[in-house]
Amino acid sequence: MSADLLSIADPTEQRPVPIAELFYSFQGEGVNLGRRALLVRFLGCNLTCGYRQAPATGDIPAQGTMLCDTEYTWNSAKHDLSDGVRHLTPQGVWDELINLDPATATPSIAPVDLIVVTGGEPLLHQDAILHLARQAALTGRHIEIETNATIKPNPKLLSPGVAFNAGPKLASSAVPRKKRIKPDAIRAIEASGQARWKFVVSTLEDLTEIAELQAEFGLTEIWLSPEGTTPTRVLERMRMAASFALAHGWNLTTREHVLIWGGQRAK
């Protein structure tokens, strides 16, 4: 079904939202590693990974070992947050995503059936995601929401075809625990039955903390994702985590986009 034939569910949901990137690539991590995907990256985050609080100036060094690889979505001390950002309605986002699908121009190519919603923190923009989820369902696509699990999802998002790649941040992020661990949000996402818990790991201490969080919240499907924006660092982190993951019944993913393209944006 053509994107322009799908009705807008509610005009109030058509407030423009800030979009850092829209692109077509592979899903680089997690259960859908290697699958073609249409990706939308929202601007803005409620955490400051690598720092205890948002830096006031660009020369402030990171305090944590788990660094954010998308600081350009929130760290205004180091980045011009207006650079390349567009304010689009949710329907405008959808239309651009469909135009990125190579099947739109070449019908002989299979349509992309996975949409990855990321950030920043995408659950800051739930009305827009709800619209994307409705459109995805109408076209036989699935949505993955990559979230830091600090915000409870709208119950309307707990529907077939929507999955959460939920990654609570660990002590190595330097973010205070009361900001990064929100029990109500974690329990709501776990109770949805639609969660994959994807933890970014940079130290051995991270692995111990993940085990503690699993016991505290009854987390089910756990994936470890290596921190790093270079192939060498990604492989080092994977080797560090592999034996621990096997011993605890966890899954281990890589960062395929980093292995292929390094730290390039929109890849």
Where is average pLDDT lowest: 10-24, 32-46, 115-129, 237-251? 10-24
Q: Place 213 in a pLDDT band, splitting at 50, 70 and 90.
A: very high
Residue 224 lies in a domain: no
Q: Is the peptide bond before 120 cis (omega within 30 degrees of 0)?
A: yes
pLDDT in the model for residue 12: 52
Query: Are 116 and 37 a contacting pair, CB within 8 Å?
Result: yes
Residue 239 lies in a domain: no
**Mean pLDDT score, 103-127:** 97
Q: Report residue 13's pLDDT band, with 50, 70 and 90 as the boundaries.
A: low
In our burial notation (b when 16+ CB lie closer than 10 A, e otherwise), range 91-101 reads bbbbbbbbebb
Find out whether 49 is annotated in a ligand binding site. yes
223 lies in a domain? no
By three-state DSSP, how is residue 248 classified?
helix
The 10s digit of each residue's pLDDT in 71-85 is: 999 999 999 999 999
Centroid of chain to Cα 239: 23
218 is in an annotated binding site: no
Q: Identify whether 35 is part of a domain.
A: yes
Q: Would the pLDDT of 156 be above 50?
A: yes
Q: Is 64 annotated as a binding residue?
A: no
- In the predicted model, is pLDDT for residue 196 greater than 60? yes
* 41 annotated ligand binder: yes
193 annotated to a ligand binding site: no
Q: Tell me: is residue 36 an annotated ligand-binding position.
A: no
Q: Please report whether residue 102 resides in a domain.
A: yes
Asked if residue 45 belongs to a known ligand binding site, the reply is: yes
- How does residue 14 score in pLDDT terms, banded at 50, 70 and 90? confident
* Count of structural domains, the chain: 1
Share of residues in the chain with pLDDT > 70 (%) = 95
Question: 58: helix, coil or strand?
Answer: coil
- Decide if 59 is inside a domain: yes
Q: What is the domain-level CATH number for residue 133?
A: 3.20.20
Amino acid in position 8: I
What is the DSSP-derived secondary structure letter of residue 29? Answer: S
Domain assignment of residue 131, given as a range: 3-197
Residue 28 assigned as binding residue: yes
Q: Does pTM top 0.85 for this prediction?
A: yes
Q: Which of 123, 124, 38, 43 shows the shortest CA–CA distance to 83?
A: 43
Say if residue 73 carries a ligand binding annotation.
no
Does the pLDDT of residue 235 top 80, yes or no? yes
Question: Does residue 210 form part of some domain?
Answer: no
pLDDT at 199 over 80: yes
Q: Would you state the structure tokens that stand for residue 266, as one six-digit string?
A: 């929109």
Quote the CA–CA distance of 264 and 128 in Å, as a whole number.
Answer: 26
Do residues 104 and 51 touch, judged by C-beta distance below 8 A?
no
The tokens for 164 are: 């959460």
d(CA 122, CA 145): 7
* Average pLDDT of the chain, as a whole number: 93
Q: Is 180 annotated as a binding residue?
A: no
- 4 pLDDT band, cuts 50/70/90, is very low
Average pLDDT over residues 146-174: 95
- Over the stretch 15-70, which tens digit does the pLDDT of each residue have? 999 999 999 999 999 999 999 999 999 999 999 999 999 999 999 999 999 989 99
Q: Is 73 among the domain residues? A: yes
| Cβ contact 121:44 at 8 Å | yes
